Amino acid sequence: MKPADANILIIDDNEDVLFTARMLLKDYYKNVRAISDPVSIPYHISHDSYDLVLLDMNYTGGDISGKEGLRWLREIKRMDPSVLVVMMTAYGTLDIAVQALKEGATDFVVKPWDNRKLLSTISTAYELRKTKKETEKLELTRKILNEDADKPFSEFIGESRQMKEIYHIIEKTAGTDASILILGENGTGKELVARCIHKQSLRSHKSMISVDLGSINENLFESELFGHTKGAFTDAKENRAGRFEAANGSTLFFDEIGNIPPTLQAKLLTVLQNREVTRMGSNKATSIDIRLICATNISIHEKVDSGEFREDLLYRINTIEIKVPPLREREGDIPLLAEHFMKLYGKKYRKLSLKISAEAMEKLENYSWPGNVRELQHVMERAVIMGNSRILKPSDFLLKEHHKKSSSKDVVNLEELKLITIKKVLEKNGGNISKTARELGISRAALYSSMEKYGLT
């Protein structure tokens, strides 16, 4: 029989008892530690995570009151409320047993014990410990998922060339554990890309845990991500697992990764490198097994150039990089998405058989959609609600006039102007990249990207 993966601590001032207990339990449990001096209890509880403690009731010669054992029981439960404690004494009385249970003990055994009875007591306690840990994890996951359930979610729709390229990347990477960084403007569907990757991954049997780093108060970052112990700070009323522990065995999605404070970037990098997390107020490390997907709407490469984001952290989170295009660049996808949202909200508001007029569709296609798919979704919902007929007309769609899409001629002229400007400044600076970037007011990375785009490399 394979020993259970449990940490057990035995505390007794009798070396024979410690030896006997250790020999009996080592065949059944992987990690069994025995100590004779209760004074070292705080050290062991603070430096390791125990599932079960076997604690003697008496340590001073001639004292059979059990007061010492109760005092150490209270100390253990104060330091780690989740650990289960089984009390041991050679002077068992009902009063002592009841008092120990009131103080938080799980069970009570009398020495000399029957081996089968001791093994049964420990087995029952360990199963209870496992059940409690699983329940706590499920409860945390349920809370997080309930929070996520309120977020808008729609199907991933698009047949443009850019979207087909993204589908191809998803197919190639979903089955791996590679870290993925998703770049794109607000409203482009970065979280939808993350969910598609998770659904096609080997971790899809567990729910993806999402964290919007842009909405977390900086003072709560460490607690939210890494968890905390009771008393770690003023409002820490109980032990709480962080998002890393909640996502163990699944996918962890960090939205707006560019907003993580510089002071926490080093800690995040350490967690990702060591694959273990330590809660605030504790020095016990917990192993984690997560697949990380991050997203941001900012130019994170420029933040690296400016020193606002660690380059080594960027390398850690973007083994694969996916760029989600803005809606204005997704040729042919606007009609598909508009029809989808029209049917979705037509069903929701009991307005079936709706259609979009040709003039209205032309208006939608000629708009630049600064808010991307999210803005289109909101515009379509309003049009369905406010429209007075089965045919949605241009007047049913309220769009900002100054966001009309540029003509192809304007775009070509603008691109030509950029090319001419970069060539001129490069020539002026004798091809010096740093000087050229400074004069243009852009980063070296942005300049390299533009040079590659215009064939200047």
DSSP string, 155-197: -----SHHHHHHHHHHHHHTTS---EEEE--TTS-HHHHHHHH
- For position 69, what pLDDT does the model report? 86
What's the pTM? 0.62
320's enclosing H/E stretch is strand 320-323
Closest C-alpha among 198, 197, 204, 201 to residue 170: 197
pLDDT score for 366: 93
Domains belonging to the chain, first-starting first, are: 4-131 (3.40.50.2300), 158-325 (3.40.50.300), 328-403 (1.10.8.60), 408-453 (1.10.10)
The neighbour count for residue 183, using CB atoms within 10 Å, is 20
Contact between residue 277 and residue 285 where contact means Cβ atoms under 8 Å apart? yes
CA 3 vs. chain centroid, Å, equals 32
In terms of residues, how long is the chain?
A: 457
One-letter amino acid for residue 159 of the chain: E
Q: Please, which residues have CB within 8 angstroms of residue 236's CB and are 6 or more apart in sequence?
A: 223, 228, 229, 230, 280, 281
Please name the residues in contact with 250: beta carbons below 8 A apart, sequence gap of 6 or more.
198, 203, 206, 207, 208, 209, 290, 291
Asked whether the beta carbons of 324 and 182 are under 8 A apart, the reply is yes
Query: pLDDT of the chain along its 457 residues, tens only?
Result: 677 888 899 999 888 889 988 888 888 888 899 999 889 999 888 888 888 999 988 887 767 777 888 889 999 988 888 889 998 877 656 677 778 888 888 888 888 888 888 888 888 888 888 888 777 777 766 666 555 544 433 357 888 999 999 999 999 999 999 999 999 999 999 999 999 999 999 999 999 999 998 888 878 888 889 988 888 887 888 888 899 999 999 999 999 999 888 888 999 999 999 999 999 888 888 899 999 999 999 989 989 988 899 999 999 999 999 999 999 999 899 999 999 999 999 999 988 889 999 999 999 999 999 999 999 999 999 999 999 889 999 999 988 776 666 544 444 455 667 778 888 888 888 788 888 878 887 877 777 777 777 777 6
Beta bridge pairs of residue 29: 4
Residues 321 and 197 sit within 8 Å (Cβ to Cβ): no
* Res 150: pLDDT: 44
Q: Look up tokens 């029957």; give the residue.
A: 114
Residue 198 C-alpha from the chain's centroid: 13
Cβ-contact 148, 210 below 8 angstroms: yes
Nearest to 8 by CA among 151, 169, 119, 116: 119
- Distance between CA atoms of residues 17 and 19, nearest Å: 6
- End-to-end Cα, the chain, rounded Å: 65
Cβ neighbours of 237 (radius 10 Å): 8
CB 208 within 8 A of CB 198: yes
How far apart CA 363 and CA 397 sit, in angstroms, is 8
- Amino acid sitting at position 123: S
Residue found under tokens 């081996």: 115
Strand order in the sheet with 251-255: 209-212, 251-255, 291-296, 180-183, 320-323
Q: What is the pLDDT of residue 413?
A: 52
What would the DSSP string read from start to end of 432-456? -HHHHHHHHTS-HHHHHHHHHHTT-
What whole-number distance in Å separates Cα of residue 44 and Cα of residue 229?
17
- Residue 410 has a pLDDT of 45
Structure tokens at 224: 């939210």
